[in-house]
Structure 1
């Protein structure tokens, strides 16, 4: 993409008009060059072979890396977990529409398995949901754990299936989600710092975390979450 040349009418010669193309200002040319370099510097934002009609190779797509199980992730996020119960609940059509409106994406399922960790006395420590969101080619599987007040206690990547962008599973990145709620934007350059080379993966996790928080808030609103 290049700046358009300015067209200047210079003089008349008989019935013809001489047109001279004047180059755009230097600062505008430099701006387009810098934007192009920034875009191409992130491998995840380069041209998508699937969109161009060429199937990406297995090496480009990447292999699955399993980092944790849901039970392991819950015990990493919450302290003193003695047991984890499962509470299955369905989402109504109105709730699915609300999730779509607030996140810009459909919920992957209309049935949620809310995991409820408890300590040795049986006290409820919070809630957890496993979700998936597609990065560049394949879904990223992750778990979001929240406190009872539905603020994020922690996020863990369970399975990553791409060749690039795996830095999103590192604790120093995932710590950014701690204490976030459905009232927060959870967006790059808003309240989440991006990772160079992993932009699509960061966006996928942002969307997934926000969807989990909105879903839990809706369930709480109709009394579907255990409170003790």
Structure 2
């Protein structure tokens, strides 16, 4: 009986390590408030139909989970709350675009058991100033993190998608129509 008790103790002691990186680091509404100095503009919607849907599919490598994407814009500053699958679960990320350049990217909710290092500034600061090049890819090289390849890929895709959607909404002033 003693060896079984010891094994159970070890197993239960290790369970919290499985959820180490999972968590809500910032609520989306707090992210928006922080990035608009407490005066969050009204949400707008861009519909992913036609060319926008196809372009989102090219950026992500699959269709986006929703046909509508909410965003918040004040002048040339926009904020996006987007999700992309890391390995098995969505990573909820906030992205701020100023004048067509990525100003900030932040992991808000991380649901994976690995790859959580992407939430730290040493990684996310690499995205500052990124734009889309003529091929529609990020114009900056983003260094990976050993053991977090899929999470790194997810954030790169989210950054590119946010920059693309920002460019579309600036050009067409898309509100709610497809």
In the other structure, the counterpart of 2:95 is 144
Going by fraction, where is helix more abundant, 1 or 2?
Answer: 2
| Deviation of 1:91 (Å) | 2.7
Task: Please name the residue that 2:155 is paired with.
Answer: 205
Higher RCO structure (Cα 8 Å, ≥6 apart): 2
Report the TM-score when normalising by structure 1: 0.61
Distance of aligned partners of 1:82 and 1:206 in 2 relative to their CA distance in 1, 3 Å threshold: same
Quick check: 1:155 aligned with 2:97? no
Change (3 A) 1:199 1:206: same
How far did residue 125 of structure 1 move? 5.9
Provide structure 1 residue ranges, at least 5 long, that are not aligned to the other structure.
1-56, 118-123
Q: TM-score, normalised by structure 2?
A: 0.76
CA 83–92 in structure 1, closer or farther in 2 if over 3 Å, else same: same
Q: Say how many residue pairs are matched.
A: 159
Match of 1:105 among 52, 55, 62: 62
Where does structure 2 lack aligned partners over 5 or more consecutive residues?
1-14
Q: Which structure has the greater CA radius of gyration?
A: 1
Distance 2:124 2:59 in 1: 22
Residue of structure 1 in register with 2:137 after alignment: 185
CA distance in 2, matches of 1:90, 1:63: 33
User: RMSD value over aligned CA atoms?
Assistant: 2.7
Q: Which residue of 2 aligns with 1:164?
A: 114
**Structure 2 vs 1, CA of residues 210 and 162 (structure 1 numbering), >3 Å: closer, same or farther?**
same
